């Protein structure tokens, strides 16, 4: 069995619509911080989403994966904060969510 080495990452040409260099991706995501008081499960998912967004410089499709990950974090937080969340689908939890942060 032979091992195949993956090539070094090459910037995705679509990334240049948003930033000029990979270093700029750090600036792009620097304000995406995990709020205090968020459950650790949600915090982990949000940090992963932020890193996926940063790495989308090399693989543009990671940006859509980052969005999906952030939705998972939203669901975790809503299930944690809505007492009767049960097995309700996410769209119902969003409708039931408080209108302001608590």
pLDDT value at position 101? Answer: 52
The predicted-structure confidence for 9-54, as pLDDT tens digits, reads as follows 999 999 999 999 999 999 999 999 999 999 999 999 999 999 999 9
pLDDT value at position 98? Answer: 75
- Please say if the pLDDT value at position 1 is more than 80: no
Q: Are 49 and 38 in contact (CB under 8 A)?
A: no
**Taking the model in full, what pTM does it have?**
0.82
The predicted-structure confidence for 58-80, as pLDDT tens digits, reads as follows 999 999 999 999 999 999 999 99
Could you give the CA distance from residue 68 to residue 80 in angstroms, rounded to a whole number?
19
The residue behind tokens 């620097």 is 30
Closest CA to 95 of 74, 69, 65: 74
């Amino acid at each position: 069995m032979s091992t195949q080495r993956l090539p070094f990452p090459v910037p995705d040409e679509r990334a240049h619509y948003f930033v000029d260099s990979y270093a700029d991706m750090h600036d792009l995501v620097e304000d995406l911080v995990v709020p205090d008081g968020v459950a650790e499960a949600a915090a982990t998912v949000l940090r992963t989403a932020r890193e996926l967004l940063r790495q989308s410089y090399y693989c543009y499709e990671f940006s859509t994966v980052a969005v999906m990950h952030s939705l998972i974090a939203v669901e975790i937080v809503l299930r944690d904060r809505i007492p009767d969340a049960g097995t309700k689908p996410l769209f119902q939890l969003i409708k039931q969510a408080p209108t302001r942060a608590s």
